[in-house]
Amino acid sequence: MEYPAIIANPIYDVVFKFLMQNPRVSCIILSTLLDLEVIEAQLHTREVATGLPAALLPHDKTAPITLMRLDFKAIVRLSNQEHKVVIIELQKARTIESLRRFRNYLGYQYIDENNYEPHKTKPAQVDFESPYPIVSVYLLGYTLEGFEDEPVIRINRQVISHYSKEVLRKTHRFIEALTHDCVIAQIPAARGKRRNKLERLLNLFAIKEESLQIIAAPEEDRDLDAVVEVLYRAARDREMQSILREEQAMVDEYVQTVKELVEVKENLEETSKQLKETEEQLKEAEEQLKETEEQLKEAEEQLKETEEQLKETEEQLKEAEEQLKETEEQLKETEKRVEEERRLRQQVESEKKQIEQERQQARYAITASVKLMRELGLDDETIMQKLGLRQEDLQDIQ
């Protein structure tokens, strides 16, 4: 592979899955994330990809992938050279997700019978007293509030004596079964930071929307070069490029749908608030009418008082009419909001045009790459091979 080279962006789920299905590369990535030597990593379960619930989507829209989950049964080498089997729960999210969804997936690991050691004397059975330890890893396409400058956050368990505050260098299967370590990698926070191997790895995940990116020089690390090599192969796969375009379109649609749902929710909350206020006003009016009826029954002895009360009732009815007028005005406001939603749809169309312009800019970037390669002395045949271009494509580039 020659540099500069075009590689696929692993922030996309299809590329990330392609990476993690490579036995050597999956061990490299997991070892770098966990800061442990992962000797073997077996994909324990199929990936789970989730998006917006179908019930919340319009009938003509599909639910895009927003969170990917991969589970590995891995063998790691500890600092004392002992081998240990662990379950690695790896979740990758490009957009902000509900904490409940993260917790649910982690909960599945604790109840999954496949995460327990087989019975020592009866292979067909499971020893439910010997669970494998679990390590959770989160690759986030956003940053947590208060931790915006931290590319990687590690949460490591410690066994501490309450009395002496001493860290106890021992463990027990009870502790291993009910607690777990955690690694949170914030991809945006790693941008431009290359202080260690993990930060250099995270810089391969481009947060920008392009599915392909140019890497100027080797990583000067055999492990990371192996990762780049797989991404290079992915970038040359035409079928994967097609899937990448579809995935980006789905993510764009998801973001827009979420915005629309938030607006609808806000409108519903406001309408619900107004309905509650109207109900309270109606209840008050009903109570006032009941009082009026009681006063009418006593009217034989209190005719004069009844006339005054009737006048008060008329005033209350006028107030009710004013409230009805206010309700009509509120309905007019609702119609204005509907018009505003129509305007927002037009805005979406405008944004689509902008995306098309960005695609055109990507074409300009390819043109720039071709010119650069020609200046570096590469012939047209080599350029076509590296960039996946046809002869007629080069003829259009002066």
Strand partners, 134: 87
The pLDDT, as a whole number, for residue 209 is: 59
The pLDDT, as a whole number, for residue 124 is: 56
The pLDDT, as a whole number, for residue 260 is: 80
pLDDT digits (tens, 9 = 90+) for 192-209: 888 999 999 998 886 565
Residue 261 CA, distance from chain mean position: 17
What phi and psi, each to the nearest 5 degrees, are found at residue 212?
A: -120, 150
Q: For residue 363, give both structure tokens.
A: 């074409």
The pLDDT, as a whole number, for residue 53 is: 43
Q: Which residues of the chain have pLDDT under 70?
A: 1, 45-67, 97-98, 119-129, 206-211, 216-217, 248, 251-252, 254-255, 258, 398
Helices (H) and strands (E) in the chain, counts: 11, 10
The pLDDT, as a whole number, for residue 126 is: 54
Half-sphere exposure of 96 (CA within 13 A, CB side): 5
* Residue 202 to residue 259: CA distance in whole angstroms: 29
The pLDDT, as a whole number, for residue 56 is: 37
User: What residue has token string 């008082």?
Assistant: 305
Query: Of 259, 276, 395, which Cα lies nearest the Cα of 340?
Result: 259
Angle between helices 23-34 and 13-20 (to 10 degrees): 100
**Where does residue 192 fall: left (phi above 0), alpha (psi -120 to 50 degrees), or beta otherwise?**
left
Q: For residue 233, give both structure tokens.
A: 């192969």
Mention every residue, 6+ apart, whose C-beta is less than 8 A from residue 110.
131, 134
Mention every residue, 6+ apart, whose C-beta is less than 8 A from residue 316.
285, 288
* Residue 224 to residue 19: CA distance in whole angstroms: 12
Strand partners, 126: 118
The pLDDT, as a whole number, for residue 13 is: 84
Whole-structure pTM value: 0.58
The pLDDT, as a whole number, for residue 62 is: 44
The pLDDT, as a whole number, for residue 206 is: 66
